[in-house]
Chains A and B, each alone.
Chain A
Amino acid sequence: MKGSSDAELISAVLAGDIEAFSGLIRRYQDTCARFAVRMLGSRVDADDALQSAFMRAFRGLRSCRDPERFGGWLYQIVVNECRTYASRQRRRELRFTPATNAIERAVAPSTEVESESDVSWHIEHALGMLPADQREAFLLKYVEELTYDEMAGITGVSVSALKMRVKRACDGLRDLLEGVYHG
């Protein structure tokens, strides 16, 4: 089935060729992985969320009415699944990490940034400090480079609300990373 279109693979699965679903996994797993890892800040949670997302997609394959848009349909499921996992993470943090300031202290960059990997570390941790809705909006806009209309289609949030979330995310990152980029 290598080289088959999404629609052909979906049609094969619906006709009982279950193995054909592996073609869809291979095609989209890494594309979705970047968003999930950045959104959840944990490869373990991202792996779990992606597994759930692919299983949801498999179970609901019949409801994918436009197989040519499978990628967008799957991405929407991934975003929703990451929201669920982000919410679980938040509950976990509330239970096990009462001293939020400790995280802030750990994330707050020193005035001297030693290496490139330090910069990436600070950025990823600053991203993790943002509220989930702002983090999601920032990632969709600037990392996945979607248009606001595409983002609205995926998230179900209005364009103006998304723009506000992106703006707040940018402000938040600027504050948190002030030392890294020296303003």
Chain B
Amino acid sequence: MAENYDEGAVDKNDAFVERVAARLRTPEHVHPSFEKRVMEKVLAEGTALYPKRSLSGSWWRTERVFRLTPLTGLALAAGIAAVIAVSSVAVGARISARSQGTSRAAASVRADTVQLVRFVFVDPRAERVELVGDFNEWARGSTQLKRSGAPGVWAVSVPLSPGRHEYAFIINGSRWVADPLAVKSSDDFGTESSVIRVGPAGNSAT
């Protein structure tokens, strides 16, 4: 059944409604054991969901030799995209570990292989561009794009594990921008972000 509404149908100053609502506004409190019960479940699941990490020990801070795919032409592509003010491009590059000589290191490299993905954003009016995504826990200020060659071109390279990632750009600290050329995703509030799929090492990100 369609639900239509006549704006004048509701009396906003309805004293009856106010009297009823006032009674229902009295505060409610959860049982004193509520927090403890929820935290027991949270702690049981938490370690697997959110393992402890420290900045100095982060995997992307470990020493690695990056062998990047040449990015020639990327800036040109971004420059053309500047017509629509916003664009991003992602390319893949293989990362290999410095200590390939030992089998132990090689095994750890296979388990920990990531691809370096380059995000390029074009907006000549931007003063500051950040990249947020599930890979940096949507933390503002953690991944800044830097001016890159041509005016208005901003770029940053981020190591990403294979799989699906969501991301967006934040311009001048406030404006949230999804990549117009990428697949879109929306959160519960309808905020759009973009989706990138990173293939296994050796394959380009798409």
Interface of A toward B, CB cutoff 8 Å:
11, 13-19, 21-22, 25-26, 29-30, 33-34, 36-38, 43, 46-47, 50-51, 54-55, 58-59, 61-67, 69, 72-73, 76-77, 119-120, 123-124, 127, 139, 142-143, 153, 158, 160-161, 163-167, 170, 173-174, 177, 181
Contacts and interface: CB of A to CB of B under 8 A. Distances in A.
A30 B27 contact: yes
Interface stretch (B77-85, B103-111, B120-128, B133-141): B133-141
Interface stretch (B34-42, B65-73, B149-157): B34-42
A58 B138 contact: no
B47 interface: yes
Contact of B14 (A15, A43, A170): A170
Interface in B93-107: none
B3 A18 contact: no
B24 A127 contact: yes
A65 B25 contact: no
A22 B137 contact: no
B39 A163 contact: no
Nearest to A13: B50
Contact of A170 (B17, B29, B51): B17
Interface string B1-19: 0011101011000101111
11 contacts: A11-B137, A13-B50, A30-B27, A50-B30, A55-B41, A58-B46, A59-B49, A123-B24, A139-B24, A142-B24, A173-B16
Q: Which 8 A-B pairs have the closest CB atoms?
A: A16-B52, A18-B46, A142-B21, A161-B3, A160-B5, A34-B28, A163-B5, A33-B28
A165 B14 CA distance: 16
B170 to A, nearest CB: 11
Contacts of B34: 25, 29, 47, 50-51
B20 A25 contact: no
Contacts of A139: 24
Contacts of A64: 138
B42 to A, nearest CB: 5
